[in-house]
Structure formats: C-alpha cells, structure tokens
Amino acid sequence: MTDGKIINIMKYSIHDGPGIRTAVFFKGCPLNCLWCHNPESQKYDQELFYWPDRCIGCGRCLESCSRDAIGLTSGKLEYKRAQCKVCGDCCKVCHAGARELVAKTMSVGQVMAEIEKDLVFYDESGGGATFSGGEALMQPTFLTELLQDCQKKEINTAVETCGYVKPEILQTISPYVNLFLYDLKLMDSQRHQYYTGVPNELILDNLRWLAEHHPKVLVRVPIIPGCNDDKENLHQLGEFVASLKRVQELHLLPYHRAGVDKYKRLGLEYQLPDIQAPESEQMERIKGELEQYGLKVKIGG
C-alpha cells in the first residue's frame, strides 16, 4: 500500500458534499492563493506549527534539538526556523503544546480505518468520504487507492480540486469519484496568476472535460472582496459555468479570516491583511447576478 501526507481527518463534516462526511485533507497544493485559509496545506514538505504564547520555558525543546534551531536569548527561548530540519524531536518533548508537526504520514489502511468508523452515519445521511487539501490530486497514487477502496466498500466519494492537474490524472480517478467539488477563483488568466501563482487555462480545460464526461460536478467559488467579486469577473464566471454541459449548480463560499493566525504559526506573513468577510447583503447581490445566467446558486458549501 502507498503512504501519503495527511494534515487532518475531520469527522462529521456537513460542508464538503452531501450528508455527513469524513473529510481527509492532503498536504501539498500547486496553487498559492493569497487568501488561503489553510497555508499549512500548500507545501508538500513537512512543516512545524509554533505557538510562542503557549511556551512555558521549560527548555526541553532546547535540549532535544540537534540543529541549533532553538536558542536562548535574554532568558527566552527563540525558534530559528531557517535552521530547523522539521524532525519533530522538539514536538515530542513539548508538553505545553507549543510545537506541532503539520502533517502525518499515513497508509491507505490507516486512512480507511478512520473513514470506516463512521459508516453508520454515511448510511443514514447519504454521506461519505471527501478528499480535499491542499490538493488531493498532488498525491495521485495514494488518492486512487483510497478511492478504489471506498468504491469496494460502497462508500460515496467526493474530491475537492483546484483543477490544476495533468488531465490524465484527473481522467484516471474520474470513474471512482461520485462527486467533484471544483473550485474556480478568477476567469482572467493574468489575474488568476497574480492571486494564485498559476494561470487558469488548464483549470478551465479540465472543468470542460469533466462537464462532458462526469455525471456530477459542482462548481464552488470563494468570494474574496476586492479580488474576484467585481462585475467583469462575475459576468465571465456566469457565462462560462452556464455553458458547461452538466454543471448547473454553483456554490459561493464567503471569504473568512479563520486561517490568518496560521500564518504566524508557520512564520509567514499574510498577504491580504485588510480584507474582511463580505456582508450578507453583498453575497445575496452576487447570488442574484449569477442566477441571471440560469444557474442554481447557493451561498455556502
């Protein structure tokens, strides 16, 4: 069996597909969205969360570190992230919970064991397993094995994807996926590259293919004030989604600031500090504009 890097397995999710679901979050993403609320999911390599306010100054981490990545300055412990090799030794001895590795290496069997614990909830609610991230398709072999195991056990599957993936990978997993949750950010490729780090031609082409060949694709759009909520982008978005063969439902996901503190824990600077969550009136206005294209539009996942 293949191993994969998993950030989190969230039980009883109701926002990642129909019914009650188990959401499995993969590490690694080809995009670098400036508003990303899961920055720990972007890099495939292991990372370390650090909460300096939790530190009680016991010094155990200092003793455990063999890379001199932890120092003592004016009686206070200092984390030198640039020297850290993310071995996790300091996390093992930190009883205050100030240090934590972001991801776990898990086997297909280990992940399936967690998913199967909630079979009764899937049966009663019409739920199942959702594979998200980061970008689950960045670990294609691991994802494929999980999807195949779910299919053997008659567990409904959903895959959330940004769509920036080789077409052959997407097409290979398609038969094992009951529902695709397909994220669209911006329609103009240059703007898309500015805000996410990559152009969008591949993303749009992959969505066109899915709309032609897969029975159930749901498009989800994060609404980021000042980035993609302008009339031009909404007009292009509405026309594009309406032109897709089987995709007639669109979910709008309001921006939130829940992940901002994670950047500090990773030693990163958040690039959009002044953006606030959109007002409900603004979301209703956007919903109304997109409904004019004949689309079924919902606010929220």
The per-residue pLDDT for 74 is: 86
The vertex-103 CA angle with 268 and 271, nearest 5°, equals 20
Residue 13's nearest CA partner among 27, 5, 24, 4 is 24
Task: Check if the beta carbon of residue 252 is closer than 8 Å to that of residue 298.
Answer: yes
What single letter denotes the amino acid at residue 20?
I
Residue 234's nearest CA partner among 290, 295, 292 is 290
Task: Check if the beta carbon of residue 182 is closer than 8 Å to that of residue 216.
Answer: no
Lookup: tokens for 222: 């994060």
The per-residue pLDDT for 221 is: 98
In angstroms, how far apart are the furthest CA atoms of the chain?
65
CB-hemisphere CA count at 13 Å for 218? Answer: 22
The residue ranges of the chain whose pLDDT is under 70 are 1
Note the pTM of the prediction, 2 decimals.
0.95
The per-residue pLDDT for 75 is: 84
Extended strands (E) in the chain: 3-13, 21-26, 48-50, 70-73, 76-79, 99-101, 104-107, 128-132, 156-161, 179-183, 217-223, 249-254, 296-299
The per-residue pLDDT for 177 is: 98
Give the other-Cβ count within 10 Å of 274's Cβ. 6
What single letter denotes the amino acid at residue 182?
Y
The per-residue pLDDT for 239 is: 97
Distance of CA 65 to the CA centre of its chain: 31
User: What are residue 79's DSSP bridge partners?
Assistant: 70
CB-hemisphere CA count at 13 Å for 271? Answer: 12
Task: Check if the beta carbon of residue 33 is closer than 8 Å to that of residue 41.
Answer: no
Sign of the four-CA dihedral 3, 128, 182, 16: negative
Q: How far apart are CA 183 and CA 193, in angstroms?
A: 15
